[in-house]
Amino acid sequence: MKKSEIKILLKLEEEKSQEALKKELNLSQSYISRALNSLLKKGIIEVKTKQKKKLYSLSKNPFSALILKILKKNPKILEGKKESLLSALWKPKSLVELQIETNIYN
């Protein structure tokens, strides 16, 4: 998981617009947009439109809540390949299947 995604997740305990995230994190619009799109594709956040404004929040699934809880304790823990392992754990798999899917072998 990229640092920008982690920073955004830590701000999404309540619904926020892209503009609000931009102001709070002092990041460019394109940087925020790419990170939000990545998080949406992973199913970690969701978006809804309210009065022509897109509002982003954590998905209503246990996986998103778990990720937020982990990030609050140690924001750097999910940087890099470790996040792919957590994603792979969403559905039960054997150790070999997890290694193949995440490309983590040690």
pLDDT digits (tens, 9 = 90+) for 40-75: 988 889 999 999 899 999 998 877 887 788 778 777
Instruction: Choose among 53, 39, 31, 37: nearest CA to 87.
Output: 39
Angle subtended by helix axes 29-42 and 3-11, to nearest 10? 80
> What is the pLDDT, as a whole number, of residue 103?
66
Q: 3-75: what CATH class?
A: mainly alpha
Question: pTM value?
Answer: 0.69
Neighbouring-strand partners of residue 53: 50
5-15 pLDDT tens trace? 888 988 998 99
Mean pLDDT for all residues in the chain: 81
Domain chopping of the chain, boundaries: 3-75
DSSP readout, 31-44? HHHHHHHHHHHHTS
Element (H, E) at 13: none
